[in-house]
Amino acid sequence: MNLLYRLLSILILGGTLAAQSGLVSGKITDGSTGLPLVGANVIIKESNRGVASDLEGLFSMELLEGQYEIVASMIGYAPIDQKVMISRGALTRLSLGLQPVVIKSKQLVTIQGNRDDILSHLQETNISTTEHMISLIEGVNLISRGSYAQEPIIRGMSGGRMNITIDGMKSFGACTDRMDPISSYVEADALNSIEVGKGALSILHGSTVGGSLNLTFIKPQYANIGQTIWRIKGGLDTRSQERKFSFSGGRQLPGSAWSLNGSYRNAGDYSDANDEVVPYSGFEKMNFHLGYKKRIDESNQVYAELITDDAYDIGYTSLPMDVGYARLRMLGLSLHSTGISPALLKLAWKVYGNAIDHWMDDSKREDLFMNMHMDMPGFTRTAGSFVDLYFNHSQNAWLKFRSEFYWTSSYADMVMYPEDSNEMKMVTWPAVKRWNFGQFVEYQRDLNSKTQVNTSIRYDFFTSKATDEMGINELHIYYPENDLSRQDHLFSANWYLAYDVNAVWQSVLMLASGSRTPTVSEAYGYYLYNPIDGYLYLGNPDLPTETSKQLEWQNRLKLVSSIINMNLYHYQFKHFTFGQVMPGESLGYARGWKKYVDAGQAMISGAELSVLHQLSSHWTFQGGLNYEVGSLIDFEDNLPLIPPLEAHGSFKFDHDKFWIQIDAKGASSQERFSELSGENQTSGYLVFNLRGEIDPLEGILISVGLNNLTNQLYYEHLDWGDIYRPGRSFTFSLALDQSAL
Amino acid sequence: MKLRIFLAVLVGSFMVITSCADTNNDEDQTENLVLVGSRSDNGLTVKMFTDDSLIVGLNKLYIRLIDESSGEMVTEAHITHVPIMRMATMQHSCPVTNAGVQANDDDLFESELVFSMASGMLGTWDDTVSVNNELAGTMHKVVFENLSVMETDMKKDLVTYAADSNQVFYVITLNGLSDPQVGSNDFTLTVHQKTSMMSFPEAADMVITVDPQMPSMGHGSDGNIDPEYTENGKYEGIVTFSMTGYWTVDFSFAQNGEELGTVQYEFTL
């Protein structure tokens, strides 16, 4: 009876809620930057009711009058408790600035020139890799050659068509087979954000046709009272027996701070859904990031960072060789000044240098390619500097400048050891020295309260030349009269107009014109074997500048509990660089030679849809759909590396102390493959994963994952060599931080 | 530091002394040529130079004539080389292309000899040089004995059979590949037919193909240019080596549409 009475009274009270309630609303911001936090949880302790902050960091809730304790939290930030008094019919306003904690498990993704904020809602477990997080971004995929260091590809454009930078610093992979994309040198535990630019919509980091990916490291933070923070983490994966240990720590003081992130990963060969071991898929890797920040005075601070990465015995299943070691050393020094004058808001100056050494060999292989051992060492050295200036042009307009310079040198060779004869050596990258000067300007202006325009332009000058004598002699076989140097003048520009059609619908029209210089392989490569099409590739120093025209229409609907983004895009290329078969006979181990040529016109068109929907205070749905087609018009073929129709969706349950998420990812079969590139049709697939995290005690975080729940046997269209992905696996990690003690 | 200066002075003075010694006989050290020998006959000094050393294969021999009475160089004369290999049981000559009547800008008469074997236990080379100085109306003959001809493996014999079942010998030499490099290499083949032990006329109507191969890789290289006839039994072409290692280079010969055969050279780069 008592129970029934209580239930009834709740129903009655519910009916009269409006009359007896008040409203609480507020804004949640990052306490260190003042920027709004999207998707932060706001929970009423007394009722366990909660909402998430929207794109502007705003939230509001209707509550019965009374006193409540409100908890605002977001992973990566220290939660805030605040007591509020709700009066009948009154509006209570709150402003909550969350302080970031150095150690984040939530990764922020920002899309430059794309305004896609749904991604910032992505929450990944402690076990995720950098590559996995990159692949969650709409329109970004991975080219997989093994279980390690997958190469990011934006809307079907990879390699030289896009720029990958680390904290804005240029560096270039030292592997002629692209086994060391720069993204492989940033470990997930030290990753702060992934900034993505699609196509020429972002040209801050260089002229491009395909886009840019800037990975930023977690930086040390100041604290008002000196404190030492640390976190240790251990994890494992049952499929690959990957063991992972990481350490993050630092000392935070009012005027200076340092941080150290280190990780060690060791994985064996994984097995596919049929429990077949995928040979040569293990690796061992060690990564460190050391950062030091010091405040010189009120408006000036310096920042220094040192990054080292050492990987050993990295298996590449789909290639005839593995990597003995891959090594990066990177140093960056920067000066940041703010409030220099009323007009010049910010100045940042950075100098950097890095060295990458890469050694491919087949010493671990039993079946030797061509029945002989071979080594393929390579290295790159890069040094550069850039200056950023931010100007406040007027109340509603700003200007940004970047002036940039860098120098880079790339060398690689190959030595084969036949059993019955002398060693055979060739230079595959002839110590190509390249100088770049770039100037970038961006101007943004609010025309009125509904309309905003943004214009960016960039000019790049490149001068490149081959300097290794043997390598020059090799290329002179094919280009006898060529001095093997080239100059490129690149112009890129973009323009967009954003218009708020009404309170919920924003529409953005974007136009871009991109260009790029050929890569070292495309201009100067020699004897580069591609196991996918079975050809040896020859660079072409006379390649023209590849250019693109891009048209994009983005629409965003911001409803009460959902955000929907839809992008339609089209790229039209001129002087598209592509490998063309050269006349000649089969070489036995290779089908012949291909030379990079100007393949004339190409195009890519596609659509991206992403949805974030807050189902209730605990449940969120996030999903997406991508489709694109690409064709090499003059060669009458499809473009290679175009992903098929892809869809993904996840349901997440969020609670105070834990969250759990089930996600599904699927793709249709890809019938529009590139025959000229040696691709073949791939089947569709659908895989499910289950992930979750719980912090049972202060300072303890347990992450679990069940990957490939249904034990699907599958591979993706962009996986080289049709190597199956891992079967069902269980991943686990345990993290402890200083607050646990 | 003092020691270093002392050493520099020492080395410097040594260089002065040696260069002084060099200037004593500048007629013998012309450009980068090496003096083979100097002979005198009937008032004429005949000096023979070569590029580096005499080798099995194509050699350039340079003759300088000095009128002993005037000390002037003779720059117009008919020069004839007759190289003879003297062996225990037999003797033979080798292909020769004699210099023209006019000496070159360095007052040298430039002839070409294709030595077909090295000097050694089997025998030695003599070169008899005859000079017909038509302007002065004098004839001279000198012999350069025991020429030191170094062994190389750049000379091959191509043996074929004529319609009447007679053996036909061709002397083939490959030149310009003594220090082959990865990349493109210019080379010269010489082809002379042996019509007797003393007669080796040039074979100017050969169709030659070049085919470099890497047995360990199972293929050859791109960018080769088959040798084309230039002059005096010489054919010039380009052979490419795409990497270091062991290479074979096959030259196939055809004449009047008939395959004559193939000779193979080996290289390790």
For the stretch B241-259, pLDDT in tens is 999 999 999 999 999 998 9
pLDDT tens profile A164-177: 999 999 999 999 98
| Rounded Cα distance, A611 and A509, in Å | 20
Q: Does A559 touch chain B (CB under 8 A)?
A: no
Q: What pLDDT does B6 receive?
A: 47
Task: Categorize the per-residue pLDDT at A138 as very low, low, confident or very high, splitting at 50, 70 and 90.
Answer: confident
Asked if B244 lies within 8 A of A426 by C-beta distance, the reply is yes
Q: What pLDDT does B55 receive?
A: 93
Average pLDDT for A668-696: 93
- The DSSP code sequence of B3-45 is HHHHHHHHHHHHHHHHHHHHGGGTTTS-TT-EEEEEEEETTEE
Q: Which residues of B touch A372 (CB under 8 A)?
A: 216
Instruction: State in words which class domain A211-740 has.
Output: mainly beta
Domain A2-98: CATH superfamily, name plus number: Carboxypeptidase-like, regulatory domain (2.60.40.1120)
Q: Does B12 touch chain A (CB under 8 A)?
A: no
pLDDT for residue B11 is more than 70:
no
Query: Where do the structural domains in chain B lie, given as residue ranges?
Result: 27-150, 155-268
**Tokens linked to A605:** 């068109």
Q: What pLDDT does A654 receive?
A: 84
Region of A455 (left: φ > 0; alpha: ψ -120 to 50; beta: rest) is beta
- Tell me whether domains B27-150 and B155-268 share a fold: yes
> Which of these ranges, A224-228, A324-328, A367-371, B130-134, has the smallest mean pLDDT?
A367-371
**Tokens linked to A547:** 């250019």
Q: What pLDDT does B173 receive?
A: 93
Average pLDDT for A44-64: 78
Q: Which residues of A touch B181 (CB under 8 A)?
A: 470, 473
DSSP, collapsed to helix, strand or coil, labels residue A469 as helix
Q: Which residues of A touch B244 (CB under 8 A)?
A: 422-426
Burial A508-521 (b: 16+ CB within 10 A, else e): bebbbbbbbbbbbb
pLDDT for residue A150 is more than 80:
yes
Instruction: State in words which class domain B27-150 has.
Output: mainly beta
Report the gap between the CA of A74 and the closest CA in chain B (Å).
59
Note which residues in 503-532 of chain A have CB less than 8 A from chain B: 527
**A163, A205 contact by CB (below 8 A):** yes
Asked if B181 lies within 8 A of A473 by C-beta distance, the reply is yes
Asked if A477 lies within 8 A of B245 by C-beta distance, the reply is no
Q: What pLDDT does A506 receive?
A: 87
Q: Does B243 touch chain A (CB under 8 A)?
A: yes
Q: Which residues of A touch B217 (CB under 8 A)?
A: 370, 416, 424, 587, 589
Note which residues in 153-192 of chain B have CB less than 8 A from chain A: 181-184
pLDDT for residue A142 is more than 50:
yes
A269: exposed, middle or buried (C-beta count within 10 Å: 0-12, 13-18, 19+)? middle
Q: Which of A598, A93, A589 is nearest to A368 (CA)?
A: A589
Report the predicted TM-score, pTM, of the whole model to 2 decimal places.
Answer: 0.83
Provide the Cα torsion A43, A49, A54, A59; round to 10°: -80
Asked if B183 lies within 8 A of A477 by C-beta distance, the reply is yes
Asked if A424 lies within 8 A of B217 by C-beta distance, the reply is yes
Nearest CA in chain B to A426: B243
Q: Which residues of A touch B185 (CB under 8 A)?
A: none
**Tokens linked to B58:** 């194509």
Task: Categorize the per-residue pLDDT at A116 as very low, low, confident or very high, splitting at 50, 70 and 90.
Answer: very low
Asked if A474 lies within 8 A of B214 by C-beta distance, the reply is no
Average pLDDT for A26-41: 77
Query: Where does B155-268 sit in CATH, by number?
Result: 2.60.40.10
pLDDT tens profile B174-189: 999 989 999 999 999 9
Nearest CA in chain B to A587: B219
Q: Does A591 touch chain B (CB under 8 A)?
A: no
| Rounded Cα distance, A607 and A739, in Å | 46
> Which of these ranges, A359-363, A438-442, B109-113, B263-267, has the smallest mean pLDDT?
A359-363
Q: Is the ipTM of this complex over 0.90?
A: no
Task: Categorize the per-residue pLDDT at A95 as very low, low, confident or very high, splitting at 50, 70 and 90.
Answer: confident
Q: Which residues of B touch A425 (CB under 8 A)?
A: 243-245
Q: What pLDDT does A100 receive?
A: 62
Higher-pLDDT residue of A248 and A56 is: A248
Report the gap between the CA of A471 and the closest CA in chain B (Å).
8
> Which of these ranges, A79-83, A424-428, A678-682, has the smallest mean pLDDT?
A79-83
| Rounded Cα distance, B94 and B194, in Å | 8
Q: Which residues of B touch A583 (CB under 8 A)?
A: none
Provide the Cα torsion B32, B37, B40, B46; round to 10°: -40
| Rounded Cα distance, A718 and A732, in Å | 28
